[in-house]
Amino acid sequence: MESAANPSHALALVLVDELARGGITDAVLAPGSRSTALALALHEDPRIRLHVEIDERSAGFLALGLARATGRPAPVVVTSGSAVANLHPAVVEADTGQVPLLLLTADRPPELRHTGANQAIDQLGIFGRSVRWFVEVGVPEDRPGAVGYWRATACRALAEAGGLSGPPGPVHLNLAFREPTVPLTDDGRARVAGPFEASLAGRSGGRPWTIVGRAPRHVPSAELRSLAARIAGTERGLVVVGQTDANVAVVLDLARAAGWPVIAEPASNVRTGDPVVGAAHHLLGNAAFARAHRPDLVLRIGRTGLSRNVAALLGPDVPQLLIDPHGGWHDPDRAVSELLVADVAATAAGLTALLAVTAGSDWADRWLEADRRVRRVVGSVLDEHDRPSEPRVARDLGAGLPDGATLVVASSMPARDLDAFLAPRDHLRVISNRGASGIDGFVSTALGVALGGGRPTVALTGDLSLLHDANGFLLSPDAPGIDLVLVVVDNDGGGIFSFLPQRRFEASFERVFGTPHGRDLAELARFHDLGHADVSTAAELMPAVDAAREAGGIHLVHVRTDRDENLALHRRIQHEVDAALADFA
């Protein structure tokens, strides 16, 4: 490994080398002066792709998108001061969404803190309890043991971000650099005694300084047999799956062995076929069906929360067992009666083996028959006219993407429409920032997913989500090629509020909730040199998306809708569903 000109240069070289040894392939940088040593070290290391963003908030979400796509933390580097505070929204999402993220924040040394020095704020513990681990690494010095300390710290940071002591999440290393921060012994403002003397070498063979191994948490065999017996003795059961990293196949195998239907949110990536109920939101919006189909036992996996109708079914009077590998307390309604802290895949596979055979049941058959009936009715309503609607965009986009594609979905109405209208299908990966469920950082998250995913990537967003993070398009012009199609449902404001009680306050609604922006998204596309296509009929959507994918680069596919019409359509759909189920319950 090369020698270092000064301690700041040494720390940067060692950290970047250890991150690369730990499997890091991408890093994000928002430019600044105090982080110079890290910026140069990352730029010069061929093992790591460096992505440069002007806006620190966008940089944080770009790193988060990379992590969602790859499962590995993507370091994000910023300079000192308010730049650090701008990472907080991404930290909140990484915390609540259990996404590995590594924050490398440059800082002024202690002698410049609390003195009025430029760009110096209190960065120690700035993210509070949102991070899994925080370390004030200390001012780099040429002393015995420094290199081992830096390397071990980098290894632990990666391990903690990946879930060493709990669920995956953000880790914060605060790095105080004294000048010179450039790889010189004298930058004209600060002198050091000479080059860094200690060896910077890591372990031989390119190995990390510390290798961390993890074993899945298994359920004791007696407890597993007892749970299998309960499942076998329960006909009226459900498997409900929210956002999770659990293996899709083993969850479906367990449901088939139990003879239970599955309700799966899109980002669970379990909505892939029988026995999945795709229209659960509409079915459970019918009061008679919901009463007649109250389950006797529910297995819950992951964090749910998209459908109020599903949440209403899962009340405290329904026995519910939540399985989570980290003991996540995913229970806002205080309805879960048991929490099993165990690896989901190992537990599901063990239960399936004990149940031994695939079971059938009238209970599951009735759920699936009702699902087919409702999806036919909903489809006929959506297909009546060729005018684009928000539900039809979600349905057609989810159905029309090629096998192997990734669909990144914004919070608010896009995520809910996908949940309500996506039919079960195979080979589609859905990603959504549903940790804190904010609309912020969506563009950057989608760009990060596209950079890290290695597969066709399409995003479904509303106009406000797009505008909220338009700075995300300000990636460095020499960034690696990004292929991303953003389908933008533009209803000129916040459409979700039309479904909420705020809608009754007509005098205030439009200004403080509807918030029309009046912006022309074609002008935004031109400003950022993006491809742009207007879609005026429903039939034009998928040809426009396919053409944009084939052209490559970043494109907006723009679909204009009307908020009042959307509300009326949702109400009509539920009315037609109720009529279709009148003789069913």
Domain ranges (residues) in the chain: 7-206, 221-370, 383-580
Tell the burial category of 135 from Cβ atoms under 10 Å away from its Cβ (0-12, 13-18, 19+): middle
Q: What are the DSSP calls for 535-554, one per residue?
A: E-SGGGHHHHHHHHHHH-SE
Who wins on pLDDT, 239 or 359? 239
Peptide bond before residue 31 is cis, with ω within 30 degrees of 0: no
Determine the pLDDT at residue 495: 67
Each residue's pLDDT tens digit, 170-223: 999 999 999 888 888 877 777 776 788 889 999 999 999 999 988 888 999 999
Residues 276, 332: Cα–Cα separation, whole Å = 24
Average pLDDT of the residues in 335-352: 95
What is 7-206's CATH superfamily? Thiamin diphosphate (ThDP)-binding fold, Pyr/PP domains (3.40.50.970)
Cβ–Cβ under 8 Å, residues 465 and 432: no
pLDDT of 498 higher than 70: no
Domain 383-580 annotated CATH 3.40.50.1980: no
Instruction: List C-alpha distances in Å: 224 to 211, 340, 347, 372.
Output: 31, 11, 8, 34
Three-class SS of 397-423: HHHHCCCCEEEEECCCHHHHHHHHHCC
Each residue's pLDDT tens digit, 135-155: 999 999 999 999 999 999 999
Strand, coil or helix: what is 276? Answer: strand
Q: pLDDT averaged over the chain? A: 92
Each residue's pLDDT tens digit, 5-48: 899 999 999 999 999 999 999 999 999 999 999 999 999 999 99
Cβ–Cβ under 8 Å, residues 53 and 30: yes
Nearest to 584 by CA among 275, 273, 368, 423: 368
Q: Give domain 221-370's CATH architecture.
A: 3-Layer(aba) Sandwich (3.40)
Residues 470, 524: Cα–Cα separation, whole Å = 8
pTM: 0.94
pLDDT of 302 higher than 90: yes
Asked whether the domain spanning 383-580 has the same topology as the one spanning 221-370, the reply is: yes
Mention every residue, 6+ apart, whose C-beta is less than 8 A from residue 260: 231, 237, 238, 239, 275, 299, 361, 363, 364
Tokens of 387: 């005018």
